[in-house]
């Protein structure tokens, strides 16, 4: 596998993922433009969830990590060094795959193939090497990736805590109820789905509630879920709110939508974007499942928002925790 293209009649490379050395080199170069370390830092080969994963998927995730630091690639130049296979017939498809994953046009990607004239391990056909150089630009907008995002952020800042309660508040976690399918059909008509999530506890740990508010690109609430999760810590409640929502988005197959998940836990957002490690054993499973599900979406990002910009989800989560807590006494 090179550049997301399966090369026939070749023994292939060994690796924890699909061992696409070209895409891995590009990922490292993009991470470098945002000072985010290397690929192994974010997707360690000791983590079983990355076993056999498509490197193109990892590239998409790397683009998200860079975007969360306001960095986007503007040109990708690369070279593959090997005696075999001969790559000329596949280079155009490689460029297309890489461009699609990186969110750039095909003419912003260059892939070249070179040999070492039988010198070194590549010349002896013992392996393949790849080198990549990426030029990048820093976005001036707030975590901007599309042209409408600055307008959405300004609208949200102007409205702040004045966002109205949605007409539909569902007293349970997102699930497979027929009502959810009707909701998903309505969301499919939106270009972008904004999702604010939050968790709340009465004590830490204590009776806990979660909430997820789904909104239009302009920040108008479509509906909200709120539910009780028993006794939990605040961090677990924060993660559970996002995980249940993403499970639902996955079940509804909303993979082609622009999805923005807003959380007011800066720690959780940095962990999900690979900037901080998850040290708590209690959070590790939640983090692993949520991170894995996020990779299934082509245009999904997790963004930190200030608490005052997440007041609706916060209010619903607190109500959910207190409702069950008071009913059990």
pLDDT digits (tens, 9 = 90+) for 248-296: 888 888 888 889 999 988 888 888 888 777 767 778 899 999 999 998 8
Residue in 256, 254, 260 with CA at minimum distance from that of residue 183? 254
CATH architecture for residues 21-138? 2-Layer Sandwich (3.30)
Cis peptide, bond prior to residue 203, ω within 30 of zero: no
pLDDT at 101: 83
Output the pTM of the full model. Answer: 0.52
Pure H helices in 254-310: 266-272, 281-294
Helix (H) / strand (E) element for 214: namely strand 206-215
Spatial separation of the C-alpha atoms in residues 209 and 326, rounded to whole Å:
13
In the chain, which residues fall in CATH 3.30.1330.50?
21-138
Extract the residue ranges of the chain whose pLDDT is less than 50: 140-151, 154-162, 325-329
Alpha helices by DSSP H, the chain: 21-33, 39-42, 55-67, 91-102, 120-123, 149-159, 178-187, 234-251, 266-272, 281-294, 311-327
Collect all residues with Cβ–Cβ distance below 8 Å to 119 and sequence separation of at least 6.
none
Residue the block writes with tokens 């569902």: 170
Task: Extract the tokens encoding 156.
Answer: 């949200």
Tell me what pLDDT residue 327 has: 40
Q: Bridge-partner residues for 12, per DSSP?
A: none
CATH 3.30.420.10 in the chain: give the residue spans: 149-327
- Residues 172, 175, 178: CA angle, nearest 5 degrees: 100
pLDDT computed for residue 319 by the predictor = 92
Closest CA to 80 of 116, 118, 119, 34: 116
Q: How far apart are the first and last CA of the chain?
A: 59
CATH no. for 149-327:
3.30.420.10
């Amino acid at each position: 596998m090179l550049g997301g293209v399966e090369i026939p009649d070749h023994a292939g490379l060994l690796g924890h993922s699909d061992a696409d050395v070209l895409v891995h080199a590009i990922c490292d170069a993009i991470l470098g433009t945002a000072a985010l370390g290397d690929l192994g830092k974010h997707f360690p080969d000791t983590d079983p969830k990355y076993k056999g994963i498509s490197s193109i998927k990892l590239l998409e995730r790397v683009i998200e990590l860079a975007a969360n630091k306001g960095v986007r690639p503007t040109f990708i130049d690369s070279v593959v060094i090997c005696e075999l296979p001969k790559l000329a017939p596949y280079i155009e498809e490689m460029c297309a795959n890489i461009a699609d994953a990186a969110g750039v046009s095909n003419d912003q990607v260059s892939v070249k193939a070179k040999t070492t004239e039988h010198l070194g391990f590549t010349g002896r056909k013992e392996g393949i090497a790849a080198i990549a150089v990426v030029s990048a630009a820093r976005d001036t907008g707030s975590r901007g990736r599309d042209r409408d995002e600055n307008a959405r952020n300004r609208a949200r800042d102007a409205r702040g805590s004045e966002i109205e309660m949605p007409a539909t508040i569902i007293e349970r976690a997102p699930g497979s109820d027929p009502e959810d399918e009707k909701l998903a059909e309505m969301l499919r008509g939106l270009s972008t789905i904004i999702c604010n999530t939050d968790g709340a506890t009465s004590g830490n740990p204590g009776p806990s509630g979660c909430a997820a508010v789904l909104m239009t690109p302009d920040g108008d609430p479509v509906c909200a879920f709120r539910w009780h999760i028993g006794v939990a810590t605040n961090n677990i409640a924060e993660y559970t709110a996002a995980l249940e929502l993403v499970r639902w988005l996955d079940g509804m197959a909303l993979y082609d939508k622009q999805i923005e998940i807003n959380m007011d836990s800066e720690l959780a957002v940095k962990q999900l974007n690979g900037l901080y490690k998850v040290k708590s054993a209690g959070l590790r499973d939640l983090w692993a499942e949520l991170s894995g599900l996020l990779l299934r979406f082509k245009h999904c990002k997790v963004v930190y928002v200030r608490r005052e910009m997440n007041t609706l989800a916060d209010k619903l989560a607190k109500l959910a925790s207190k409702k069950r807590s008071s009913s059990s006494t």
